[in-house]
Structure 1
């Protein structure tokens, strides 16, 4: 790992994009090694903390960097040029900060201030269990004196080795109905352990291990939300629009990085008609991915400007349509980049092979292709979408 010291964000420090650009080559140093050994990118998280990126999304009034959604998306897109795994794992922390920050700014929700202030002051890392805690919820909550006993296995908990708080939930059966309780679980609490079992096709350095909650006690006061399981809640309309706009900025960055690598390889060879066609098709796909992500950003910004900033099914539909298009065109961009690079790109040393595997992760975040199409179809036909997820 590089021992370079980075300047935290202050009024006199470089802008957020400039700070991130300085990080890119440092993040890249260990990217291949982390991928080859399935090792979490812990050293890169140290660099992110040094640079002040952990608190970038906390409002300046609460001690953070004050970055908005567009700036955070740019941060994650650029980080992906250095290390896909670092950018994707960090997007999970970033969206867990951006969501309460959005609610504080647009819904005047004072209850989120302690968490945001703690992120800014202590640079704690928030984990998302979104892979296993989507609309239906997962795990079991049992009522006990003063709170709940939680037993669960949370999969795809990216960044687990570095996490301080797991933002998660569990299903409570009560009066014949299923509810999901939401809470923050301290990663060092008795009853929590990380299974180092992340062995995946791509994004191998994200440390997306399973987290076991074995008899974890959560007091009543720690439950932030109780909602019905299996149907959209207004909070999830906020989560889905903000979180996936940030996550898919990473995949856009992966596609851009692959494009740059392929062009660097192609320029070393005499240009042929086939090379021109591949390069043009690649850039066309990348432009489509950029336009789709821009649509996602514009949707959230438009909703944020609405009086009261009330979430809506329409905003979810717009963002999730953009998510599908970013994934489709980003994946195709990297496929064409590999073709353009030719045999040299097939070698691990080029880095394209790793990017080709990393971009496949874009297929698997909610809403995946089937549910997204059903959601969009129901919206088009004026049918209910409350149970499509």
Structure 2
């Protein structure tokens, strides 16, 4: 049975989020795909980190792809970055998912620099372009509520925290995160800052033993009494409530992250079709249901990117992006389920690659906003109710 189907060009191209980005980083992603696909099974089987793949991505110029050209980067738009991640996701879900965390942490300040004229992000973006540093995200581990403790001291804060689900931690240079500061009046605010991963106050605990996306090495990052100067605090917000910056984060980040899961689903579809074609009487109805589920996921992802293209992050765009996130997850998971059925017993063998994709796609369930909060958020928006504390 073929194991490298994922590296081939998409067989289902009726809905693709290419926009006007047919070349550049998307072509590079296609070029790298075969090598990534060749390594994917071994990485998964050994619970290894995709470190060698990061080296390839860095050499290919994808680390700085989202930095504006004026600041030394590739100047890629969000739609192009999403297409890059979708292509990488078809080849190796773990590589694409881990790299999506860096990609969105670059895309967000790049968008703010371009559209909101925020000059404060320039030094970070220039470092990504010049030094090819890797940014890490702790978004899923603290999100709107925040996590960790920030104690005010002279000229700064002392930070103690455990950040779980830190994808690609061992390759990272700076962890973009936050911690909760409790004021003397009992108020709780979250301060946001970057954590230098080489600091003696930072360590990685190898906790990532999981069902799928094993190669992301999304281990715990433990921060013990790290000093963050006042000047290094990017912004502060009320804990447990949406902030305009987080509306920007949610609007931009999730179309990028979920491009990965779309790629995983497309790869499963292609493998299943190739297996089914070799059967004397393949199940046409089952193949059609699979195709329909995949198209629904593709259309939902296109909607997410349409929201980004408005360049006006708000509570409304968060709602629409998160509706899209739920639909991509639902239909991508259903696509892979049906791919397993269409392939039949062959899907149970590791050799086909389908069982790995089945495990990897389950990760789509767990990013914010998960099903309950997303439904409440959408319902509150529909009813004209407040949403700032729904996350």
Counterpart mapping for 1:267-286 below 5 A? 267-272=277-282, 275-286=283-294
Structure 1 partner of 2:213: 203
Q: Is residue 2:51 matched to residue 1:42?
A: yes
User: Does residue 1:183 correspond to 2:185, yes or no?
Assistant: no
SS in 1 for 2:216: coil
CA distance in 2, matches of 1:337, 1:278: 9
In structure 1, how many angstroms separate the alpha carbons of the residues matched to 2:227 and 2:155?
Answer: 9
- 2:342 is matched with which residue? 340
Residue 104 (1) aligns with residue 113 (2): yes
Q: Which runs of 4+ in 1 moved over 6 A?
A: none
Instruction: Report whether the alignment pairs 1:84 with 2:81.
Output: no
What RMSD, in angstroms, separates the aligned Cα atoms of the two structures?
Answer: 0.8
User: Could you say which structure has the greater relative contact order, defined with CA pairs below 8 angstroms and 6 or more residues apart?
Assistant: 2
Q: In structure 2, list runs of 5 or more residues that go unmatched.
A: 1-22
Return the alpha-carbon distance in structure 1 between the equivalents of residues 339 and 222 of structure 2.
Answer: 39
For 2:316 and 2:225, locate their aligned partners in 1 and report how far apart those are by CA, in whole Å. 39
User: 2:101 & 2:87 partners in 1: Cα distance?
Assistant: 16
When the two structures are aligned, how many residues end up with a matched partner? 368
CA distance in structure 2 between the aligned counterparts of 1:297 and 1:325, rounded to whole angstroms: 13
Instruction: Select the residue among 168, 185, 199 that pairs with 1:159.
Output: 168
Match of 2:299 in 1: 291
After TM superposition, give the deviation of residue 268 of structure 1 in Å. Answer: 1.4
Alignment TM-score, normalising by the size of structure 2: 0.93
Q: Distance in 2 between matches of 1:299 and 1:219?
A: 36
Residue 234 of structure 2 aligns to a residue whose secondary structure is strand
Report the alpha carbon displacement of residue 15 of structure 1 after superposing the two structures with TM: 2.0
For residues 333 and 294 of structure 1, the distance between their equivalents in structure 2, rounded to whole angstroms, comes to: 17
Secondary structure class of the residue paired with 1:342: helix
Superposed CA offset, 1:13-58 (max 9, x none): x622111101000111211111111111000000000110000000
Q: TM-score under structure 1 normalisation?
A: 0.94
| 2:321 pairs with one of 302, 319, 322 | 319
Matched, 1:236 2:246: yes
Aligned-partner Cα distance in 2 for 1:331–1:50:
33
Measure the CA separation in 1 of the matches of 2:281 and 2:250.
Answer: 44
Deviation at 1:386, TM superposition (A): 0.6
CA distance in 2, matches of 1:18, 1:387: 41
Tell me the distance in 2 between the aligned counterparts of 1:355 and 1:320. 23
Q: How far did 1:271 drift?
A: 2.5
